[in-house]
Structure 1
Amino acid sequence: MRGRPNMKSRLLATTMIIAATTACATPQETEMASLPGTATVDYDPEIPEATSIFAELSPLYMHAPQFDQVEDSEWQGIIEEAIAIQLAEVEAIANNPNPPTMENTLVAMERSGQVFSRSYGAFSQIVGANINDTIAATDAALAPQIAAMVDSIYLNPELFNRVRTIYDNRAAMAMTPEDAMLLEVYYNNFVHRGALLGDEAQTELRSINGRLSSLSSEISQLITRGQNDAAIVVETREELEGLSDGQIAAAAALAADRGHDGHYMLTVSNTTGVPIISQLSNRDVRERIYRASVDRNQSGETSTLPMIQEAIGLRNRRAQLFGEPTHANWQMYDRMVSDPAMAIGFMTDMVPALRATQEREAAVLQDRIEQDGHSFQLAPWDWEYYAGIVRQERYALDNEEIKQYFVVDRVLEDGIFYMAGELYGLTFEERNDIPTYHPDVSVYTVFQDGEAIALFYFDPMQRDSKRGGAWMSNFVEQSHLLGLRPVVTNTQNIAPPAPGEPALATWDDVTTMFHEFGHALHGIFADQQYPSLSGTNTARDWVEFPSQFHENFAALPEVLQRYARHHETGEVIPMELVEAINRAGRFNQGHSFGEVIAASLLDMEWHSMDPNTRVNDVMGFEAAALDRIGLRSDLVPPRYKTPYFRHIFEHGYDAGYYAYTWTEMLHHDAYSYVEENGGMTREMGDHIVNTFLGQGHSKSYEQMFRDFTGRDPRVEPLLEARGLIPGDTEPAGAEGVQ
């Protein structure tokens, strides 16, 4: 995501509950691995029948959710019934009198949870993208129940004994590579979730997990409220100098909508940085919106600090129960990078060069301030404004001018869909017969070489009922075992236009669209037998690789010239602007890369402490941690400060935010392979799908990368792209700001 991958990936990492449906057995299924010399008896347990709209597969195309058939007040009862059915299904598997086999244990688990997955997959998207008081209360009520359900599965001793018996005898069993991976994933997840702990420790673990799930829901809702409440009111139009007429009209419309007729309202984003700061020439307004952003969720009704303090303490206590030295050691068990020291070292090795870059860039910006006759010292609310001026002067790059060429729908249909056609043979047809959870959402059938293979939902615009950020989710996960094709969704937060104006995207919005569509492709091309290994159900430090990889295609001239057309004149974006985008790619890395590394290391500071440590002052700990990290966080604060760092308190990126930088290394190196081998061709697209994009978690992550590039990953392409080491060429006028 720039946010998160799909909901199912997060859920499966802890529950192994799968979106499923019944399917006829194939020859492969009837010859599943079993222990030698086992006999069977008839076993037909009774399972409660569901009564909700999710009791059966949706009759809609590709089993898309029937959002129009559920009232807000019905969700809690629907999902509570689904939880009860899931638990009964699992209990039946655990109590099977027959000796354990892959078929009657692990494959049975893969078939379980159909009602829960169908209902919770739809509900989870509504929580994130169209929440209201009823939905928020339902989410809070369900969170501890779902946590208890997860614990009831993983702490079921009979079920674990069946899994362990298969695991211990795996050498004597005939399994496909995907069977073997499924077994490995299940066994490791059981151990990770506490199956080997004693009774007393398991009892405490259940309590910790239940409370953490409630805290996650509460923190997330407060972060959404805090972002909405942080908007500032500006009295006069003159104070908005630097904004376009369309932006000012949108600010006036928002103010009127929130009861401030005649004034203007500016909102903060989900990140610390507020994009509009780069345009506002009024320094006081810049400072007001910056402080509103960094101070949110620290006081009053939306303060997350007490909950964060409690969550950190509970995570540390859980690490102690498992005998782990830190929460990060416990959390990173299934990652491509499983050693916290390796993840920390990967980033801290870049800090000296990055700090030096920040110092050089700060000097350039301070000099530019003084050129305007000002005597004030560069402050964090000045950085992006003066970086914008320098960028325009050095690279002829005006972000507001560029924005006029990026109409949101055109970026999607003429840019992203064009790329997908050239690489993968995909075409898209919009449909009007699929109900959605909000009028902003559009739905497309995805075809490959004329065959319908998926449904794709697109929800681009910011609104108060949507949490910040961008993400991909699955409503239906692909599985050959279950006969299901993928139904996926992309969600973003692009600033809405003034009434009657077209929706325009910033360049960051555009790259985010390509990023999230990379996640979508990871789901669309899933080609696995088992849903828990399908598509994006991979480790945090791999799932962001396919998404970041696809960002590269946004700036290809042949793609840009398809979708980058002026919204008034239809003129294709001038080549000089395209060249300016490319030249400026390494400009301002002290800020853009610095805020990410600071946030990533802040995450590791929170989750690599001695579990005996007690944090009594959240903001004091953060300040000390940023000082230890050693970057210029006084001028370039972390992309997320602790009180609104949703990734690590709700998305499952705790001890995992480094994944964005790790996978950035992977994607820069992988894209260099694309450039060296013919570029954006169908042959290259087939190679991408056959080596990693369509492989889910059927292979190790290292093997998939080697299958694609023929080598292990190299860090040099990342460092060159970020300007931390010199490349073959330097952008004109970039001296002092590499």
Structure 2
Amino acid sequence: MTQPTPNPFLQPSPLPYELPPFAQIEEAHYRPALEAGMAEQLAEIAAITANPEPADFDNTLVALERTGQLLRRVQLVFENVVASDSTPALRDLDGEIQPRLAAHTDAIQLDPALFARIDAVHARREELGLDANELRVLRYWHNRFVRGGAQLDESGQARLRELNAELATLGSAFEKNLFEGTRAAAVVLDTPEELDGLPDGQIAAAAENAKALGHDGKYVLSLKNFSNQTELASLTDPKLRARLLDASLARGIEDNGPLAVRMATLRAERARLLGFDSHAAYVVADQTSGSTEAVESMLGGLVAPAVANADREGAALAASAGVERVAAADWQYLSEQVRKERYDVDGAQMRPYLELESVLVRGVFHAANLVYGITFEERPELVAHHPDARVFEVREADGRPIGLYIADFFARESKRGGAWMHEFVRQSTLLGQQSVVTNNLNIAKPPAGEPVLLTWDEVRTLFHEFGHALHGLFTDVIHPSQYMEVPRDFIEYPSQVNEMWMEWPEVFGNYARHVETGEPMPAELVERVREAQNFGEGFRTVEYLGAALLDWAWHSAPDGEGAGDAEAFEAAALRRFGLAHPSIPPRYRTGYFAHVFAGDWYSAGYYGYMWSEVLDADTVEWFKESELSVRECGEIFRRVLLAPGGSANPMTAFATFRGRAPEIQPLLKRRGLEG
């Protein structure tokens, strides 16, 4: 009889930085490890509540921080693998386990004995001699339990458990539908001639993609998880452009529309149960924005100037094409033509200068060394979660270890769309752990031996996601609960700041070199690229605002009812906000708005990208105007804003860093909205 393989999750990994032992992990290990992790944490909680000693910070809060290490170990791996290298069995397990994990969280946060101990310490907080960090930990847990329903009566808690379980089930179903629907909506083509306008490398990648998806001899354009597909800027056939955009906009709505309606209704009920007027009010009460009025004022104030800016761009496109109005599917293509005519910038002309390895090593890593002094060494002997993923060790300038960075950049059938950062291990001094983080992108993989040439947007995405990775690597906290535990409307700030380095002359000149000749991108092309970026800012702002206010509409209704048909609700919401632009669909429509409906993380929080960009634009201005060196500025930024994680109030930290509260003028200037 074959002996069962020992479950590698049941003990801390012996690998450097506790990198999960992926070479030993099998699909069959996840379920028992998740179940064992939940059982172990409940036993640890029971030990805390059974302690006969009066509750204090150490025997209650520190003890709570130490619980759940097995569950965290397996859950962090499981969540990333489901997203980046999924199988039908893993997706089925995810659908089953998410409501159980939600019930597990409720079992802890609704434990009356545990909350009584936390509440007792909170009531005596001024007399316990706690330092500032300990007080912040105490307030975090007390607030989390209160917002989690600890003060509800028995019937209220029972209903809350039902709501959370159903929402977890629906969120998993939404993501599964999106995963399958996105693949089903891929555009299959018979000949390379149909892809006229795409660079040869992209056509070859479409052929490789077709082969991977079982369409040998054909060409497949798989959809990215946003509305306007990148190929729209290059394809010369207007019928194919329309077909591609239609496939993108229609996916998910049939299966996921009803789920969105139900989730909005349940979230509204949960908010009312917890004493808030709407889910949006519940969310922002714990964010830096602080109120729904502040969010609506910021977003609403941008709509009119953004639409006016986009309409000016649309008029220029229509004039260039000799048409009365630009169709949505043609906007990106015509924009590319105008950029060529006005600024002599051709996206295809730029790609040979944007080779992936050069962008990563001579761009992203070089910038991190320039700004923070850190170094990267590839560790090929360390096995990651997929053969395409590469592991790098990150060290301080003096050689001290920081953690591991895993780069997983290529699209594949088993990976969901989009780009994101995830952690496999979270830094904590209390637990003696350092960070292991990964970036996931969805770059089309060319045939073996051919260079990977990026678009300008893909370069930006890589710098952006690496900003999240730096945040995770630089977080330096004692307690696990503080790891990157910042408000949702602040979390995008470090990543948006990191985008600035892609155009910083010393960085740009280092990586933007021709893949064959090594010659730098011509200086005049660099300048034209910068000028061309401003053309299209109106489109990008309207596209973003459409998604942000759509999210807001779903979650700001007091009762969550009345949505009815998801498409009708969406159309009415966009009209109400003045964003029903016939040529500019929102960046995400309801059927594939995974930020909002594949979980709770960004629900009523997509506005945070723009909220964070206010801080980002102000910070970029500081870097450019400072009399300090880039390295000195980087040290200040890292120490004051990245390292604290959840151990400091982020807006207080920003005021310390900038010497004042954030100002919106740099953002308006960047977005072309000053008027």
So what's the TM-score if we normalise by structure 2? 0.97
Match of 2:189 in 1: 234
- Which of 119, 140, 147 does residue 95 from structure 2 map onto? 140
Q: How does 1:591-606 map to 2 (within 5 A)?
A: 591-606=539-554
User: In 2, are the aligned partners of 1:130 and 1:438 still within 8 Å (CA)?
Assistant: yes
Match of 1:14 in 2: none
Match of 2:637 in 1: 688
Match of 1:312 in 2: 264
User: In 1, are the aligned partners of 2:99 and 2:165 still within 8 Å (CA)?
Assistant: yes
- Which of 345, 349, 367 does residue 297 from structure 2 map onto? 345
Match of 2:590 in 1: 642
- Secondary structure of the residue that 1:465 maps to in structure 2? coil
Match of 2:319 in 1: 367
Match of 1:403 in 2: 351
Q: Distance in 2 between matches of 1:305 and 1:680?
A: 51
Paired letter, 1:216 = G
Structure 1 position 95, deviation (Å): 2.4
Q: Distance in 1 between matches of 2:580 and 2:570?
A: 14
Match of 1:510 in 2: 459
Q: Distance in 2 between matches of 1:237 and 1:505?
A: 20
Higher helix proportion (structure 1 or 2): 2
User: In 1, are the aligned partners of 2:538 and 2:671 still within 8 Å (CA)?
Assistant: no
Distance change in 2, residues 1:680/1:659 (3 Å) = farther
User: In 1, are the aligned partners of 2:7 and 2:25 still within 8 Å (CA)?
Assistant: no
Q: Distance in 1 between matches of 2:448 and 2:392?
A: 26
Q: Distance in 2 between matches of 1:510 and 1:94?
A: 51
- Which of 332, 335, 340 does residue 284 from structure 2 map onto? 332
Paired letter, 1:456 = Y
Structure 1 position 381, deviation (Å): 0.2
Paired letter, 2:429 = H
User: In 1, are the aligned partners of 2:421 and 2:440 still within 8 Å (CA)?
Assistant: yes
User: 2:220 aligned with 1:272, yes or no?
Assistant: no
User: In 1, are the aligned partners of 2:544 and 2:587 still within 8 Å (CA)?
Assistant: yes
Match of 1:245 in 2: 200
User: 2:176 aligned with 1:221, yes or no?
Assistant: yes
- Secondary structure of the residue that 1:456 maps to in structure 2? strand
Distance change in 2, residues 1:361/1:91 (3 Å) = same
- Secondary structure of the residue that 1:337 maps to in structure 2? coil
User: 2:8 aligned with 1:53, yes or no?
Assistant: yes
Match of 1:355 in 2: 307
Q: Distance in 2 between matches of 1:189 and 1:320?
A: 17
User: In 1, are the aligned partners of 2:170 and 2:259 still within 8 Å (CA)?
Assistant: yes
Q: How does 1:16-35 map to 2 (within 5 A)?
A: none
User: 2:83 aligned with 1:128, yes or no?
Assistant: yes
- Which of 96, 103, 110 does residue 65 from structure 2 map onto? 110
Q: Distance in 2 between matches of 1:90 and 1:320?
A: 29
- Secondary structure of the residue that 1:671 maps to in structure 2? helix
Match of 1:520 in 2: 469
Paired letter, 1:358 = A
Structure 1 position 376, deviation (Å): 6.7
Distance change in 2, residues 1:259/1:523 (3 Å) = closer
- Which of 374, 377, 381 does residue 426 from structure 1 map onto? 374
Match of 1:723 in 2: 672
Match of 1:13 in 2: none
Deviations along 1:47-68, one digit per CA (max 9) or x if unpaired, are xxxx832222110011100112
User: In 2, are the aligned partners of 1:422 and 1:680 still within 8 Å (CA)?
Assistant: no
Deviations along 1:90-116, one digit per CA (max 9) or x if unpaired, are 122122211111101110111111101
User: 2:29 aligned with 1:74, yes or no?
Assistant: yes
Deviations along 1:136-175, one digit per CA (max 9) or x if unpaired, are 1111111111001100010001111111111111111211
Q: How does 1:3-14 map to 2 (within 5 A)?
A: none
Identity %: 40
Aligned residue pairs total 668
Q: How does 1:571-582 map to 2 (within 5 A)?
A: 571-582=519-530
Structure 1 position 411, deviation (Å): 1.0
User: In 2, are the aligned partners of 1:678 and 1:684 still within 8 Å (CA)?
Assistant: no
Q: Distance in 1 between matches of 2:445 and 2:613?
A: 29
Paired letter, 2:180 = R
User: In 2, are the aligned partners of 1:250 and 1:499 still within 8 Å (CA)?
Assistant: no
User: In 2, are the aligned partners of 1:319 and 1:611 still within 8 Å (CA)?
Assistant: no
Match of 2:116 in 1: 161
- Which of 40, 44, 64 does residue 89 from structure 1 map onto? 44
Q: Distance in 2 between matches of 1:54 and 1:238?
A: 50
Distance change in 2, residues 1:679/1:409 (3 Å) = farther
Deviations along 1:528-575, one digit per CA (max 9) or x if unpaired, are 1112112x2211111111110110111111101111111122211111
Q: Distance in 2 between matches of 1:279 and 1:180?
A: 55
- Secondary structure of the residue that 2:353 maps to in structure 1? coil
Paired letter, 2:671 = R
- Secondary structure of the residue that 1:404 maps to in structure 2? helix
Paired letter, 2:328 = P
Match of 2:210 in 1: 255
User: 2:367 aligned with 1:415, yes or no?
Assistant: no
Structure 1 position 650, deviation (Å): 2.2
Match of 1:658 in 2: 607
Larger displacement relative to structure 2 (225-234 or 252-261): 252-261
Q: Distance in 1 between matches of 2:523 and 2:192?
A: 34
Unaligned runs of 5+ in 2: 1-5
- Secondary structure of the residue that 1:349 maps to in structure 2? helix
User: In 2, are the aligned partners of 1:247 and 1:498 still within 8 Å (CA)?
Assistant: no
Q: Distance in 2 between matches of 1:595 and 1:418?
A: 32
User: In 2, are the aligned partners of 1:131 and 1:465 still within 8 Å (CA)?
Assistant: yes
Deviations along 1:212-236, one digit per CA (max 9) or x if unpaired, are 1111111111111111111112233
Deviations along 1:678-706, one digit per CA (max 9) or x if unpaired, are 47622111111121111112111111111
Structure 1 position 631, deviation (Å): 2.3
Q: Distance in 1 between matches of 2:666 and 2:385?
A: 41
So what's the TM-score if we normalise by structure 1? 0.89
Paired letter, 1:266 = L
User: In 2, are the aligned partners of 1:395 and 1:580 still within 8 Å (CA)?
Assistant: yes
Paired letter, 1:494 = I
Match of 2:247 in 1: 292
Q: Distance in 2 between matches of 1:499 and 1:58?
A: 33
- Which of 705, 716, 720 does residue 654 from structure 2 map onto? 705
Q: Distance in 2 between matches of 1:250 and 1:485?
A: 37
Match of 1:563 in 2: 511
Q: Distance in 2 between matches of 1:259 and 1:64?
A: 34
Match of 1:35 in 2: none
Paired letter, 1:501 = E
Q: Distance in 1 between matches of 2:560 and 2:658?
A: 44
Deviations along 1:639-659, one digit per CA (max 9) or x if unpaired, are 000010000012410010001
Paired letter, 1:87 = L
User: 2:428 aligned with 1:479, yes or no?
Assistant: yes
Q: Distance in 1 between matches of 2:630 and 2:315?
A: 44
User: In 2, are the aligned partners of 1:73 and 1:134 still within 8 Å (CA)?
Assistant: no
Match of 1:731 in 2: none
Structure 1 position 333, deviation (Å): 2.7
User: 2:485 aligned with 1:530, yes or no?
Assistant: no
Which consecutive segments of 4 or more residues in structure 1 shift more than 4 A?
Answer: none
Q: Distance in 2 between matches of 1:483 and 1:439?
A: 29
Q: Distance in 2 between matches of 1:495 and 1:376?
A: 35
Match of 1:554 in 2: 502
Match of 2:105 in 1: 150
User: In 1, are the aligned partners of 2:596 and 2:602 still within 8 Å (CA)?
Assistant: yes
